[in-house]
Amino acid sequence: MKSLAHDSTLNCQTCDRKFQSKEALEDHLQDSPVHGRKSKTPLDTFFGSFRGFRYDPSLPPSTSYAKLRDQKGWERGDPEGEDAWDRYQDALATELEMWFGAEDDLTAWHSLCRAVGIEPLPPTCALCKKAARNTHVNIVDLIDWRRNQSQQKVRIFRDVDGLRAYTRKTRKIFRNPYDEGEDGGNMVLRHLLRRIFR
């Protein structure tokens, strides 16, 4: 890996922009609304709605939800727990759309492609969609990657069976709105969703 001192340009992988100095890149990361976590995200709002729950936004959403469920003592079938689960899933969906945008947003598609290691970046939205359709990724991991602006790639699975086993084991579940007959307006999501629970 190149050191920053030897790199003549510094890249913001999220925005696909180049900077001439480390300071310029740091200023961009701090000041850009795309990078700033100054305002609450949908997941921040969801977890913040539970009085007495100590929420750490740097933790993966699935870890925070497990801690919340344990603190509240929710069992399967508990109405309050079921309502919280539905609200958590809504927050995940809204957050995904916030970070990865609309189907015709090439910058959002490039952010998604970088997250899952698609290189070189496809030059059009249509080619990004095609590449995403062949990628098996856990949606909760993808959201966590973007929330924490990780430089590492999101884990990719060779096939749906590998993704299914991982999702069940880790309980990093993103409800598939298309399985439930919901309209689901997020077309980016449509290209990434897989049937995990048959």
Q: Compute the distance between CA of residue 160 and CA of residue 136 in angstroms, rounded to an integer.
A: 6
Is the pLDDT at 179 greater than 70? The verdict is no
Nearest C-alpha neighbor of 156 from the set 143, 142, 146, 168: 142
Averaged pLDDT score across all residues of the chain? 80
Question: CA torsion angle for 166, 85, 57, 132 (degrees, to 10)?
Answer: 50
Greater confidence, 178 or 64?
A: 64
Q: Which 8-state DSSP code applies to residue 154? A: P
Among 24-33, 35-44, 124-133, 134-143, the minimum mean pLDDT is found in: 24-33
Q: Which residues pair with 156 in a beta bridge?
A: 137
Reported as type and span, the H/E element at residue 137 is strand 136-137
- In this prediction, residue 21 carries a pLDDT of 77
Is the pLDDT at 62 greater than 90? The verdict is yes
pTM of the model: 0.73
Nearest C-alpha neighbor of 196 from the set 172, 170, 160, 171: 160
Nearest C-alpha neighbor of 84 from the set 56, 53, 121: 53
CA distances from 102 to 105, 131, 174 (A): 5, 16, 19
Q: What percent of the chain has pLDDT over 70?
A: 73
**Mind listing the pLDDT tens digit for each residue in 79-111?**
999 999 999 999 998 998 888 877 788 888 888
Residue 193: pLDDT band with limits 50, 70, 90: low
- In this prediction, residue 198 carries a pLDDT of 56
Please state the separation of Cα 96 from the chain's center in Å.
5
Among 5-14, 50-59, 122-131, the minimum mean pLDDT is found in: 5-14
**Mind listing the pLDDT tens digit for each residue in 111-168?**
888 888 888 999 999 999 888 888 888 999 999 988 887 777 789 999 989 998 999 8
- In this prediction, residue 5 carries a pLDDT of 39
